[in-house]
Structure 1
Amino acid sequence: MEQKKIGFIGTGVMGTGIIQHLLALPNEIHIFNRTKKKADSLIENGAFWQDSPAHIAQTCQIIFTMVGYPKDVEELYLGKDGLLQHAQEETIFIDLTTSTPSLAVKLNQSAEELGLFILDAPVSGGDVGAKNGTLSIMAGGSEKSFSKVLPLFKTFGENIVYHGSAGSGQNTKMSNQIVIASTMIGVCESLTYAKKAGLSLDLVLKSISTGAAGSWSLSNLAPRMIDDDFAPGFYVKHFIKDLSIALEEAERMELKLPGLQLAYSLYNELSNSGYDDNGTQALIAYYG
């Protein structure tokens, strides 16, 4: 694709991994994060630091955002010093944050009025996927804009799917998180059972991870559970946010999802026990 200046706002665990792949491109990569120190390694590797989101918007034609919560997304785009009011015409924004479908629709409408474009494109695959460039990317919004940025998606993603109009990416991510929610309970209970039975957890994992029980969580997070490694690939507090969104959307659609509700309650108990800043695999601590 034509060389453009690319912006990225949010250099957290996953954002940093994604930016590392973008830095391999001939394009200039401009970054901003609320805590500059967290971006030091990226600046050392060639990223250009900008002092505010507004400066990113004034400098770049394609801008990725990956922040914590829907309220952060709304403030970033529509706030007093928001991205939309400072952007160049025809700028394409790609929000990688897991947020609400309704906010994605609202942002899309606001952007279109200004001659701008926004894709809601949440990702899945955690820190491992970001580091290895193997993320799943679920996109909604303008199909033309999706086609334009597809080469960029391919630098850090493998399973890249366009799902339709604004909000479709976020609804797909909710489907993804619902699967993960119940799967994480299953992984934890499986390991707890095996431990109580006196089995070698490593050998159990070797047997079951490639059979019918196999899953990404089992292959990538169960080993961390066995090692009591709760370092965050994806924070408990952010997963609770995702599950909350999914529950709100399910209620709006008059759906009863008891597995999702159970996972939400367990993760809230985990949060109340001080595990907010740990990875989602810390759920194993609930089982003792």
Structure 2
Amino acid sequence: MNSDEANEQLSDSITIAEGTGTVAFVNTYTKKTVDITVDKIWSLAEANSAVVCDATNVTWPAGTTVSVKLQKKVGDGEVKDVEGDDATATLSAAHPSHTFEDLVEYEGDQKVTYSVKEVAIEGTYAANFNLGSAEKQDDGSYRITNSEKEAGLTITKSFGDSDLTDAQKGNIVFKVTGNGLKKDGTAVSELTKKYSDFTGDPKKWVLTQADGIMDGVTYTVSETADSVEITQLQPDNDRKGEQRRGERAAERQHNNC
């Protein structure tokens, strides 16, 4: 068998010329081809997921698409991208899988092995996921799994030797600002919470993906006070310094009398 024969499959047909008794055998050679199917799974955070899924496909993040690229390896060569528009496909809630069809199985006498990679995530929840890797299934298809990024922000407060009362501490308001914050699913420019509403031991404020916290985003945390003298919120050294300056001023006033 030569290389062309390895790359082709044979089909036979018989033609009988009417009235002549002549029988003609026709051999037809066609290229051997394969189909490669790819589908996708989204793995959402078990708790506090920030992702809202599509109304018609509850396993797919709303407004989000992915691009996949066909690759091939000829014989023992390197894995390379397949060129051409037909070698790229877009998966979406309405089109969660794709089949690359009629792919040649041989180039010359070398077998071609196909694979798929994910090249881009776009749309509403693109930033919530890392690119996934494709795993070959038992039936020869490929499956890409994307896991939602785990992200969170925890805020605690240390009072040191502060002489603030519990009521004064509880009235301290913490504010978080940054891109993408949410409250009850609605976009907001900031989130606030009083120290009295912190939970746990030690007390803390934990923000998650449900609050819009995302990996790689910088957030600013500040604090203000309700009915608390600002000098009481200064670091201990500053407060002691002010106290000493006040004592020296009192001494000078006393010496001048």
Q: Normalising TM by the smaller chain, what interval?
A: under 0.3
Q: Which has the higher contact order (CA 8 A, sep 6+)?
A: 2
Higher CA-based Rg: 2
- TM-score by length of structure 1 reads 0.21
Give the structure with the higher percent strand: 2
Give the structure with the higher percent helix: 1
